[in-house]
Structure 1
Amino acid sequence: MAQPHRIEAKPIEDRYARGWHCLGLASDYKDGKTHTLNIFGTKLVAYQGEEDGEIHILDGYCPHMGADLGKGCVEGNALRCPFHAWRWGADGVCDDIPYAKRIPPKARIKQWPVCEQNHLLFVWNDPEGNPPPAEVAIPRIDACDSDEWSDWVIAKMVIDTNCRELVDNIADKAHFGPVHGSPLTRFSNIFEGHVATQIMHGRSKRLSGAGELRTHAVYYGPAYQVVDMKGEMEGTPIESILLNCHVPIDLNSFELRYGVLVKKIPGLSDAQNQAMAEAYVQQAQAAFYEDVDIWHTKTRVDNPVLCDGDGPVGKLRQWYAQFYMDAADVPASLKERKAYDFESAEPV
């Protein structure tokens, strides 16, 4: 008689994924104020330079006496500490101590690489401290700068689990029916380098009515996913782009941002298009929150019992593990293209 399967879950390594992490709309940080970021198990501070207009991110604690730099003020492109008025440049180097004759050579804090793309702000994390390589640059979304599309509508929430539970969705084809009521007609995964793709065709009363729902979802690195979606609403074809991204707060929680762009429908007024976009966004968010309800209460399983109808969950986790290794230790095999079809988890 077979013994009951016991769930295994190893202690989570105290390490955060190498890659770009999305912090939401860049415009939210361009208000002249400091913005505290409780992420990657520490505290950072983001602000816009008064002179260069660029967003800068620094370590959030002053190494002098530990003050919270998020409570400081912006001076030019620098931050003035609220405790003893040490000033920290955008490069992380202390450039002024009002009462000192000499600035200590060690007076330097970490400057975090940032980029703006698609009207979004990204911060780069690498436990080894290396700069982001060119090949992992965030791709441009032309729709973000097109009058034919709506603006981003983005919701933010905190999920109390490790972010791997979210990333498992890339390969989890079996949940679409039970969770979303969306039977599938096609499901494929492609893993290549730092990119993971999911292609899905199916039905969704909520997002495609009587028609077919098609999505093409791509993770660029460990934490930023863009989904091209074609559906239907009240008999009208709808094209949308979904944003699904996360930033770890600590090992057991993360900030989740979910956003939507909707293509305007020719022949409708701006008001009608806005109403259609808002209604579709609400439907898309409702579908996404069905996943959120699962993530809030599930447990971590390192040894899942899988069947032949499941997607390539194991292959997905191998792909995802590369972001938690030193760059030199990433197997060359992960750079090779691997595709898996709907019928089984075997390579096409």
Structure 2
Amino acid sequence: MSNGSERGPPIVSLSAAFAASPSPMLVADARAPDHPILWANDAFLRQTGYPADEVLGRNCRFLQGPDTDRSSVEEIRQAIAAGRAVSVELLNYRKDGTPFWNSFTLTPVNDEQGLAFFVGAQVDTTLAHTNAERTIALGTALDRKTAMIHEIDHRAKNNLQVISSLLLLKARRTVGGETREALEGMAERIGALSVAHRLLCAGEDGSHFELTEFVSELVSEFEAGMADDRVRIDSDVDTVTLPASMAAPLALMLHELVANALRHAFPGGRHGRISIFAKRAEVGLSIAISDDGIGFDVAAQNETGFGRSLVEMVSRQLRGTVRWLPMGSGTRVEIAIPLRVA
């Protein structure tokens, strides 16, 4: 006499469980022509919107419609012909014509004589498909927006280069004096802005830039424009990621300070060094530009000068502070800029 563990599952209980299952299920006759549906649970009827009398006796292809993928249908047909299980995702249609994505699994069931039934289970994946389509659409829109921003930055950079070239051309045709110096200075400042745009265009998203690379690029521009190597430019810069909105003000500020040092700190062929220091600090970003040149009277106001006013104006724009410090030999300018916590 066998014990209970050797007995098969209670068929009536399994049938009741399938009928009460929240997952849409059906059973099709594997031996009858066209494999008609013999049974479908209430969840299947609710999902498809068909009453039982319009489901039983039909092949489940009645759920297919104009946009149902024919390759998925062919995959099901081949699995049925071979008597093997298959899982596909295809677009089906409810009785009212509403489409829904259906993750469909078909499993063959054998009896003593061989293949007898196909058991089908369905999962409505419409929401997942809708979310995926929205994600793809948003990604496409973001890619287009990023490409547009890069294109705008690229055009802005080119326009700045053209303006700088025009100012330099005008300066060369202007008799020496304050007007020529002003034109040359403006051309150089616009060139610094062009460098900032070039770095932003080269970035992955154009919304941030690396300070180390930024300073290195500006130094390279200065070195390329120097007639000799009597003045050396050194830099000690932390790797800090900054928002793109800071690129133009920083470019103007750093350019102005280094350009002024090159122009005024080393007269008469004097040799020297300019140092650029930028570190992450408690205040946010600490920047110092120093030189070992002849220095200047930081208390004196140059009525015709523009560079100092520009540096202080840009510093205020960044909500920072500037200190002009005389040294035993040369000048040091310290700038503190608060940074937003990301």
When normalised by structure 2's length, the TM-score is: 0.21
When normalised by structure 1's length, the TM-score is: 0.20
Instruction: Compare relative contact order (CA 8 Å, sep 6+) and give the higher one, 1 or 2.
Output: 1
Larger Rg: 2
Between Structure 1 and Structure 2, the one with more strand by share is 1
